[in-house]
């Protein structure tokens, strides 16, 4: 596994729509392994392939709704959000926009249909931060950033008014 360079907002790659993954080969497996390692090293909870310069529909999300220390990485290839309900509003950040957070409204529960690294289809539900990460990462695959969904970037004072500091994705 290897760390990959995370592109920053302003890079044109982050505005492009990604193509579906069609080959579930070693190259994809290496990409997913590298993305997971890069996300963890950057202390993020999600990362999309275009953030490391690959215009393909693949993301990793850290499932944090687990006992402490038992977080695990979810791999979603060609993900589609097929159901969503509830609502949450909170600070959201992005590994491509380091140190900046904005208030973004997202569904509280999301169901995704995706393929695993071998091409098998599955469905998965996410709640809270995981639902937020599913939405955030799927937006990246269509060239969209969280900054398009918030009024403004929070000041330090505004951010500290929230219990959590926000999560980078
Ligand atoms: Zn992001």
Q: What's the average model confidence in pLDDT over 129-158? A: 96
Residues 110, 134 contacting (CB under 8 angstroms): yes
Rounded CA separation 70/160 (Å): 27
**Which CATH homologous superfamily contains domain 12-164?**
Peptide deformylase (3.90.45.10)
Task: Report the separation in Å between the CA atom of 82 and the middle of ligand 1, taken as the mean of its atom positions.
Answer: 20
Residue 20 has pLDDT above 90, yes or no: yes
Residues 126, 76 contacting (CB under 8 angstroms): no
Tens digit of pLDDT for each residue in 23-36? 999 999 999 999 99
Task: Report the separation in Å between the CA atom of 67 and the middle of ligand 1, taken as the mean of its atom positions.
Answer: 25
The pLDDT, as a whole number, for residue 145 is 97
Rounded CA separation 60/45 (Å): 8
Residue 73, strand partner residues: 62
* Catalytic-role residue among 37, 87, 125, 137: 137
The pLDDT, as a whole number, for residue 164 is 59
Tens digit of pLDDT for each residue in 60-104? 999 999 998 899 999 999 999 999 999 999 999 999 999 999 999
137 counts as catalytic? yes
Domain ranges of the chain: 12-164
């Amino acid at each position: 596994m290897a760390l990959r360079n995370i592109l920053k907002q302003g890079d044109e790659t982050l505005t492009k729509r990604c193509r579906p993954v069609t080959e579930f080969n070693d190259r994809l497996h290496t990409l997913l392994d590298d993305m997971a390692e890069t996300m963890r090293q950057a202390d993020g909870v999600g990362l999309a392939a275009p953030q490391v310069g690959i215009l393909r529909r693949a993301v990793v999300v850290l499932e944090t709704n687990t006992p402490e220390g038992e977080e695990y990485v979810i791999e979603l290839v060609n993900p589609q959000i097929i159901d969503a309900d509830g609502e949450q509003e909170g600070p959201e950040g992005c590994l491509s926009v380091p140190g900046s957070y904005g208030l973004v409204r997202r569904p509280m529960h999301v169901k995704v249909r995706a393929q695993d690294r071998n091409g098998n289809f599955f469905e998965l539900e996410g709640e809270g931060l995981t639902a937020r990460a599913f939405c955030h990462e799927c937006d990246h695959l269509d060239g969209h950033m969280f900054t398009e969904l918030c009024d403004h970037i929070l000041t330090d004072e505004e951010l500290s008014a929230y219990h959590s500091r926000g999560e980078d994705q």
